[in-house]
Structure 1
């Protein structure tokens, strides 16, 4: 195969990759919005970075059992994976911010703040 043909193949593959990635991102956002339909789910998902369910429970005001149930459901949809170091913990595959999904603020008591401003006031 000559260099011109190889360059053209590479060019076409890069174009296919660009559109596949775009389409994939659109689908991921749809799934995230469908699955994370409450502020509590969004908070738990975003905190799922290897933390334990009891640790997230304190921060998100959701029971450990509910968190573990959500993790399993999200893993089946490809949104979380088993943490490589802690086999009973999960970590998110995507960051909500990367898809323009707002992450609710949590105040010190684990309650969802009415606004970013209220969360800041409670911290002070």
Structure 2
């Protein structure tokens, strides 16, 4: 399944779940690490996203446990979720490669004396 435009929080949630089943707070912590601290998911945002992703068949609830007197619900990636993440990762990699190529060409033009941009 391809998601036309996968937003960064969704990409991070699916990436975190690609490593195995996780509960909500573990997903928040891993999204923070994966993004280098630039994305800090709020609890409400996370659970709304998980509900949407479950509705799309990309994740499923994968059990609950009680820890420190609180219920933890675990989630895991489905095969459809893995396919969607694979598509998004490939698309991002293609775009990143194109960006690097264009920046290299721009630097090359600047070195040849255009006087614009990189020096």
The TM-score normalised by the length of structure 1 is 0.47
The structure where strand makes up a greater share of residues is 2
The TM-score normalised by the length of structure 2 is 0.48
